[in-house]
Amino acid sequence: MFNIVRPDSKIDFLSKARLFGGISIGSFVIAVAIISIFGLNLGLDFSGGHEILLEFDGTKNVRIGQVRERLDRVASGDIAQEEGGKRSVETAVQSFEVPTSTSTFFLARIERQQTFGDQEIQAFDAAFRAKYKEFFKRIRYNPDAGDVVEVEFVDNATTAMGKPIDPADLEAIVAGTQHEVRLVRDIGRPDRPRFSVVLKGIGVSVVNAMRDLDPSVRAARVEFVGPTVGRQLRDDGLLAVLYALMCILVYIALRFDVFYSPGAVICLFHDAVVTVALLAIVGEEFSLATIAGLLTLVGYSINDTIVVFDRIRETAGKAQGAALREVVNRAVNETLGRTIMTSSTTLLACICLMALGRGTVLASFGEIMFVGIILGTYSSVYVAAPIFIYLRERFGPKEVARVAKTRSAQFEV
């Protein structure tokens, strides 16, 4: 029987509890500071906007600068008219690797919240009014809807004007502003004319703008997330995680006792926050896949904490003071073999995901888990356990149990 950890290992983990406790608190505070100062690099899922993966067939040498320049032109096209470019549009281009393909890929992103600005809508309004005078009623634009503008006319406008409204005219007015019109639809009743002007969407405009670089260009992937959806996804996710933590808190309080749960939950917070801060530092994009990774990390961390807590519960009895510390120390030592085995197999699996899943979300998932496993193992010992000891010494039963007598004086370090 080969052992990684000597069966009689008696490492005094808790002797360093103060030091590591300080480090944990410090890193937590720094992590919160980093997140609040630098902010998160929110991916499309949360920020809303458009993301287009451009594919060039590789026969022509397309440079990233050329793509960026054209993208900026499309993105700011209609906004240039606004006063002093007050509303800036964030764009980003990065090259993207698809190993199985010989094509060149660029990931273009436009973080545009809505298709038209207020000024632009007013300009449309004025243009329609100039053309149709009193027969024009108003235009309706729902920023969430993105690519659709509705044009309404007054009741019986066609009879009053003596001629029908030509959709081509409507198209001309909207298309005058950099947008490509997909179609104009008649959605009214004969006595109440109304049209919806549907744009081709920014994706098509971006691809068209790239045509002069290389006619082979096409969109391999187009993603659009509306502003409210992004907010909803974020709020739903956060709320779900908060409720899940609350459930864990209650369950541990019932199965163990109330002194255990705060440690377990704070330890989860610690792991999640520090990992998020690390992601913020390396500029990793925060997407729904990242959330999935974080959830897995939290799941792993709670698993680890429960294994250690289970050992403590088994032997703690009513121990207090030094005896309690010894119980905890022994529990950590006894589970050490398991901890090392589990973390190493999982770390290996993560390395496989990182190495072989490159370019897919699996890799970023692996990275998060890699950090998470190390943090989760560390925090079970240095965050969850010390908090448990502290709470129990402060508020727990005061009798000193028998275990204290059998306390061994010597610890190996």
- Does 175 participate in binding other proteins (rule CB under 8 A)? no
Closer residue to other proteins (CB): 19 or 352: 352
- Does 226 participate in binding other proteins (rule CB under 8 A)? yes
Rule CB under 8 A: which of 5-24 touch other proteins?
Answer: 7
Least Cα distance to 300 among 360, 382, 370 occurs for: 370
Site string for other proteins, 178-197 (x = CB under 8 A): ----xx-x-x-xx-----xx
Name the DSSP letter for residue 165. Answer: P
Closer residue to other proteins (CB): 194 or 318: 194
Closer residue to other proteins (CB): 105 or 382: 105
In this structure, the number of other CB atoms found within 10 A of the CB of residue 3 comes to 8
Least Cα distance to 330 among 218, 252, 408 occurs for: 408
Binders of other proteins: how many residues, by CB under 8 A? 97
Q: Could you tell me which stretch among 57-65, 70-78, 82-90, 227-235 binds other proteins (CB under 8 A)?
A: 227-235
- Chain centroid to Cα 24, Å, comes to 24
Closer residue to other proteins (CB): 15 or 345: 345
Q: Could you tell me which stretch among 32-40, 120-128, 236-244, 399-407 binds other proteins (CB under 8 A)?
A: 236-244
CB of 50 to other proteins, least distance (A): 9
- Does 167 participate in binding other proteins (rule CB under 8 A)? no
- Does 86 participate in binding other proteins (rule CB under 8 A)? no
Among 236, 395, 399, 407, binds other proteins (CB under 8 A): 236
Do residues 290 and 43 make contact, with C-beta atoms less than 8 angstroms apart?
A: yes
Burial 195-210 (b: 16+ CB within 10 A, else e): bbbbbbbbbbbbbebb
Among 11, 42, 53, 121, binds other proteins (CB under 8 A): 53
Least Cα distance to 259 among 202, 333, 320, 348 occurs for: 320
Helices (H), 283-335: 288-316, 321-334
Do residues 109 and 151 make contact, with C-beta atoms less than 8 angstroms apart?
A: no
Closer residue to other proteins (CB): 40 or 363: 363
- Does 357 participate in binding other proteins (rule CB under 8 A)? yes
Number of H helices and E strands in the chain, helices first, is: 14, 8
Rule CB under 8 A: which of 243-282 touch other proteins?
Answer: 243-244, 247-248, 251-252, 255-256
Do residues 383 and 270 make contact, with C-beta atoms less than 8 angstroms apart?
A: yes
Among 13, 28, 224, 382, binds other proteins (CB under 8 A): 224
Q: What DSSP assignment string belongs to 256-278?
A: S-TTHHHHHHHHHHHHHHHHHHH
Rule CB under 8 A: which of 310-339 touch other proteins?
Answer: 310-311, 313-314, 334-335, 337-338
